[in-house]
Amino acid sequence: MGPIGLPPSAPGQRIGLYGGSFNPAHAGHLHVSRMALRRLGLDRVWWLVSPGNPLKDRRALAGLDERIAQAEGIARDPAIAVTGFEAGIGSHFTVETLEWLKARRPGVKFVWIMGADSLVSFHRWRRFRAIARLMPIAVIDRPGSTLRAVAARGALSLAPYRRPESDAAILADLPPPAWVFLHGPRSSLSSTALRAEA
């Protein structure tokens, strides 16, 4: 890791960025990451453990160091790196993080990864259209979100840039905006449900 916890990368690498609170991380995050590695032909996936989601209640949020340590215990795959570097750069929004990364790792082929449940609220993210212009996006299907996701305001706004699922393997090479919706085996696990059971 670099001085602010940024995982190593090299020009030409295909790296998926999977951001979230990871409160807590669980096997569903691992499932999504392994699907993305395989279907998108990625070299690595970085779990970006955020200081906090501006759209979520932070009162139930465990400390950043605790969430990173717990995520590292779940991410049992050498192709997955866990990092909390967003706190180190003072980023509070995804668009700020992605702009920072693109400026400092211009030769890396980044892909933003998110669950279909996140696509439902994507239009509420700060400058969501700018996010789509920064890098390709892979949306991973989630139980209960399939139809709501593709009918959501963000998805409809970006509909002209949706690529067929068969283009998944070349998504990292496509100029943004470009996105795919990946179907396949789905995990019903969620951090919200796991917190409720604790």
pTM: 0.91
All residues at 6 or more sequence positions from 68 whose CB lies less than 8 Å from its CB, including other chains = 22, 49, 82, 83, 84
CA atoms of 172 and 110, how far apart (whole Å) = 7
Strand-pair category, 109-115 with 80-83: unpaired
Tokens of 22: 């990871």
Q: What is the pLDDT along the chain (198 residues), one digit of tens a residue?
A: 665 789 999 999 999 999 999 999 999 999 999 999 999 999 999 999 998 877 677 777 999 999 999 999 999 899 999 999 999 999 989 999 999 999 999 999 999 999 999 999 999 999 999 999 999 999 999 888 889 999 999 999 999 999 999 999 999 999 999 999 999 865 555 545 543 444
